[in-house]
Chain A
Amino acid sequence: MTIEQLIWLVPLLPFLGFVINGLGRNSLSKGLVGIIGSGVIFASFIISVVIFFSLQGDTQKSHEVFLFDWISAGALHIPLSFLVDPLSSIMLLIITGIGFLIHLYSTSYMHGDAGFGKFFSYLNLFVFFMLLLVLGSNYIVMFIGWEGVGLCSYLLIGFWYTNSAYASAAKKAFVMNRIGDLGFLLGVFLIFTTFGSVEFAKVFPQAANMLPGNDTLVLITILLFIGACGKSAQLPLFTWLPDAMAGPTPVSALIHAATMVTAGIYMIARSSVLFDLAPLTQHIIAVVGAATALIAAIIALTQTDIKKVLAYSTVSQLGYMFLGLGVGAYTGSFFHVLTHAFFKALLFLGAGSVIHAMHHEQDMRHMGGLRKKLPVTFLTMLIGTIAIAGLPPFSGFFSKDEILAHAFQASPILWGIGVLTAFLTAFYMFRMMFLTFSGKYRGTHHEESHLHESPTAMTFPLIILAVLAAIGGVINLPHVFGGNEWLAHWLSGAGVAQHELELSHSTEYSLMGVSVAAAVIALLYAYTRYVKGARVPVADEAPRSALAKLSYNKFYLDEIYDFLITKPLDALSKFFYRIIDNKFIDGIVNGLGWSTNEASKGIRLLQSGNVGFYIFMMVFGIIALLAYTFYYI
């Protein structure tokens, strides 16, 4: 079986799962739904593995698989075709692999929910679209997946739609994504008008011949980056992601941590040829990424909702990845995508396990001392936390340091921000761990008696992910540690060429030392504060210092957007509707009618009923006509 013959099965299977689960959501039993939902993903995973390995043994690293002609109009031809190359094949593994684990987890997590079948069909659909996104051989197919995952994100965030806050969060996510999508779409248009095609295979070779800093390329890449900002929750479009935590926790793990939000990074990595030639865009990306990383980390410091902490952490980590992209560390960023997928999925699922145990209580102020009740969850989450904090030798350490090293090479300031963020990350993550698992239980006694470890279907994925989070670093072990940077080599087969790192080994070591030191200090500080000091975050209304207030209230970004965008637009809308449309434009239209009517009212008075007057008018008419004659002759 060649890749060409297999590849279409990968997205098709989840799609079939979606169709079957969707149609049978009310008739199929929950068990069957779970089996179908997870089974199709697992099958896809198996096929992906097969493809991955056969690609590894293949000399030809990229395969285009044409399915059918989708849109054609004039010079524009858009086939529905897939591109299998190292980049997409590895994404396939992540999506189907982690996807499968999360599906498995969900069979248990969502078991009590009435919308079980619906949930699985949505989840399958998401996987389908995500696969389409990474498999597309042109920007438009990528865009189908791009928007499709947005749709699934919308559906899943609003899964419990009877809660209007959740439904609003879903809408917010969709709309903010759409803002980015417009940028993406415009970028694609510009690609089409510049290169005459939207096929990767046709665009990149042409672009490679262009001069660096070419204006068109800069514009294209900026537009694409705007798209990525929306999908990957970067400043200024990140506020939807924390709200997206309204969805069920597996969704947060799969969509809002492991896969969908990394689509932006995937897309930029895929288009690295273009971005490499647009230094200006790269600077912008680096700055935006660094700023996002820092701001999100600051916000995460004071959050009390366990999922919110993770959500801001995700935003922050995504910022990291963009920082990496901005400084040319494509592989590094992609590496971080991988490791982040492992540990963030793990953390979310762990959080889900905690929430499951706590009967959907998410406020850490009501938790504490869960270590003994949930040992597996605690252990696996600890691994995840260590990984995200960047402590060696867990996976996060390697990916993060690769980015930091590149950042240092590009600009020490960026590196400084990176390290600061790493410090904050370590702090808030351990804060979360300590608040949740150590100390005394702070909930009611009744709840305490019901605490229990989650079933195997939930812990099994945790364990697998924990293993991956721990050892995942090996796939791109840097030279300084005697590694061979396998991932970088592999991805270069897809045309993703990382900038060379020109730092001496000693510099690299010292950089790592600084970041590790920062993480350790943060860990210790968190320990003294929350374990020794047994501090608990104060209640919502309690007074805070100005900085804490800023952090706690997310820099008032939502309020600022509301004030700067939503309110003015609403006001504008009302103004347009009430004043311009109803009063002015329609007023003119109606005014014409009205004035005719008024004219009628007036002119009919000429018909006074008085013969004398009539004759007067006639005589005036006659005089006028005769006067005309007089002048004519």
Chain B
Amino acid sequence: MEQLLLLIFLPLVGAIITAFAGKSAKIVSTVFSVVSLVLALVIAGNFIPNASTQFEVNLPWIADLGINFHAGIDGISMLVVLLTNLLVPIIILSSYNHEYKNPAAFYALILFMQCGLLLVFTALDAFLFYIGWEAALIPIYFICAIWGGKDRIRINMKFFVYTIAGSLFMLMGIIYLYLQNPAHNFDIQAFYALNLDSAQQGWIFWAFFIAFAIKMPVFPFHTWQPDTYTAAPTQGTMLLSGIMLKMGIYGVIRWLLPIVPAGVHDWGQIAIILSIIGIVYASLIAFTQKDAKRLVAYSSIAHVGLISAGIFAFNQQGMQGAMVQMLSHGINVVGLFFVLDIIFSRVKTNKIEELGGIAKVAPQLALTFLIIVLGTVALPGTNGFIGEFLLLIGVYNYGIWAAAIAGLTIIFGAVYMLRMYQNVMLGETNSLTITFTDIKGTEKLVLYTICALIIVLGVYPKPILHLTEASVQHLLEQVNQKLNTVN
């Protein structure tokens, strides 16, 4: 129990200390994030991979409103917690070649956000979940809006209002559930046990789904995303795409499926259709993007679409695939954005057409970038394959046409990713890239770590699958059981 509290609040402590650390904020935040990672690994080590919730904490918080500080970790949580605590140090390290003005605030906000994210991923109380949900949003808003690029103010405002719009409707849904709950509290188990009719479940489904869909984002709620990713500072983009996006996915798994199975049963079709449209649509758009960051942003929409489709397909393969893919996508997309950041920091552009020939002058960057690209296009032997493969099987079990259309992602992904790789890295150097220097120092460390993770997870994904298997299975059984009693 102490471990979990420590896990959640260590980043917060780190954030506060970092805020006053002045020039050494970079180091302080690195230390804290690494310690958090170690702590997460220790917890993962002590974690018994079964369906039970472990390290549970249940403290009264706002008793009059039935709100408790109730948190715990099961397999699914463990995975995202690991992802968060793994990516935050990587993201912080990736900022080492930047000199942000006012670094104390920058790093403090990152750690603050980490705390919010961990709250989201461990909360077993809907109110706590909501608090974490918003608490993660504020820092990223500031990170993006203070240190972002062109037109950042308008873009981030849109992002902020858009996402919070979704979450407010979710809050409405949460309140509804709370009122329906005879015990008048926000406990997740109590929510699971509710007996709502299918009309009620339908409403709750939409209230929650829109919040999650905006966060992920699922077509057609995605238009904030490319702009935001493009305008945000790279570390912000990494946080957004690497971790924050998983909040939506996690939310669906933890808060949508088990609470309103009948709603999912009735409306999940639409969710799948939207997800699949999103896959093809975003992939197609990625074809002709001129800005590499924007291209990756659209690719992210496509990938998330597949994850979402896999979840709503609602079977073991799809679910497990979503688990692996959450991790994989987090790692890969952070890698992609980091490479683009390295390029941008050297030549001040991410325009695909202006680049080229970098492989010739920076072979190590080219190699790591290639591995990351391959991971993204789901080549067997990389982490991306495990996830996409399982997801596609999951979708396939739902419907062969769904899988055939969703499967286009493996073709389209190759098209736009390789196009980008070719135009950026291959060909002859031009006046811009001729002076390009290869990666060094922390850049190397980060990229090699990412590449190692990509390959290791691709070759031996079993630990991850094992970690979540029992929880996923439990979830499926629970939902199916509930679904049977409703019908």
Contact = CB atoms under 8 A, between A and B. Distances in A.
A502 to B, nearest CB: 38
A171 B381 contact: no
Contacts of B220: 585
A55 B257 CA distance: 53
A103 to B, nearest CB: 22
A182 B316 contact: no
B414 A189 contact: no
Interface string A587-605: 0011001000000000000
Interface stretch (A156-164, A291-299, A359-367, A470-478): A156-164
A135 to B, nearest CB: 14
B393 A168 contact: no
Contacts of B357: 162
A585 B429 CA distance: 38
Interface residues on chain A, size class: 35 or more
B427 interface: yes
B321 A73 contact: yes
A171 B418 contact: yes
Contacts of A168: 422
A186 B316 contact: no
Interface in A62-82: 68-76
A581 B286 CA distance: 12
B465 A72 contact: yes
Provide the main secondary structure of the chain A interface. Answer: helix
Interface stretch (A206-214, A458-466, A514-522, A567-575): A567-575
A566 to B, nearest CB: 9
Interface in A188-220: 189-190, 192-193
Interface stretch (A141-149, A272-280, A552-560, A623-631): A141-149
Interface stretch (A172-180, A243-251, A325-333, A348-356): A172-180
A164 B392 CA distance: 33
B411 interface: yes
Interface string B318-331: 01110000000000
A190 B403 CA distance: 11
B391 to A, nearest CB: 10
B410 A185 contact: yes
B317 A73 contact: yes
A193 B397 CA distance: 7
Contacts of A189: 392-393, 396, 400, 403
Contacts of A147: 379-381, 385
A76 B317 contact: yes
A476 B240 CA distance: 62
A140 B427 CA distance: 34
A161 B392 CA distance: 33
Contacts of A182: 404, 407-408, 410-411
A162 B360 contact: yes
Interface string B401-436: 001100110110011001100100111110000000
A113 interface: no
Given A71-B461, A171-B422, A193-B397, A581 B411 contact: no
Contacts of A590: 158
B426 A167 contact: yes
A581 B285 contact: yes
Given A143-B380, A572-B284, A576-B281, A73 B427 contact: no
B24 interface: no
B389 A175 contact: no
Given A73-B469, A162-B427, A585-B223, A175 B288 contact: no
A577 interface: yes
Contacts of A164: 356, 422, 426-428
Contact of B315 (A74, A146, A170): A74
A572 B427 CA distance: 27
A571 to B, nearest CB: 9
Given A73-B390, A589-B224, A576 B285 contact: yes
B289 interface: yes
A228 interface: no
Contacts of A174: 414, 418
A441 to B, nearest CB: 33
A85 interface: no
Given A178-B411, A589-B162, A577 B288 contact: yes
A161 B359 CA distance: 8
Contacts of A162: 357, 360, 426-429
Nearest to A230: B411
A148 B381 contact: yes
Interface residues on chain B, size class: 35 or more
Interface in A362-411: none
B203 interface: no
B98 interface: no
Contacts of A585: 220, 222-223
Given A71-B386, A162-B428, A589 B419 contact: no
A586 interface: yes
Nearest to B419: A171
B474 interface: no
B320 A74 contact: yes
A488 interface: no
Contacts of A69: 462
B287 interface: yes
B418 A573 contact: no
A630 B297 CA distance: 60
B457 to A, nearest CB: 11
Contact of A73 (B316, B374, B403, B425): B316
B376 to A, nearest CB: 13
Contact of B379 (A151, A170, A179, A193): A151
A143 B418 CA distance: 20
Contact of B465 (A71, A179, A572, A577): A71
A181 interface: yes
**Which of B287, B289, B320, B461 counts the most A-chain CB atoms under 10 A from its CB?**
B287
A188 B133 CA distance: 40
Interface string B211-251: 00000000010111000000000000000000000000000
A144 B385 CA distance: 9
Interface in A439-474: none
A143 B461 CA distance: 17
A186 B220 CA distance: 27
A46 B97 CA distance: 51
A593 B414 CA distance: 36
Contacts of B419: 171
Contact of B393 (A76, A143, A589): A76
A70 B379 contact: no
Given A73-B321, A174-B418, A574 B288 contact: yes
Interface of B: 158, 161-162, 220, 222-224, 281, 284-289, 315-317, 319-321, 356-357, 359-360, 374, 379-381, 385-386, 389-390, 392-393, 396-397, 400, 403-404, 407-408, 410-411, 414-415, 418-419, 422, 425-429, 460-462, 465, 469, 473
Given A151-B379, A189-B400, 4 more contacts: A76-B316, A178-B410, A186-B403, A590-B158
Top 5 closest A-B pairs, CB basis? A74-B316, A73-B320, A144-B380, A586-B223, A573-B287
19 contacts: A73-B320, A73-B390, A74-B316, A76-B390, A76-B393, A151-B374, A161-B359, A162-B427, A168-B422, A170-B422, A171-B418, A175-B414, A185-B389, A186-B404, A193-B397, A573-B287, A576-B281, A581-B223, A581-B285
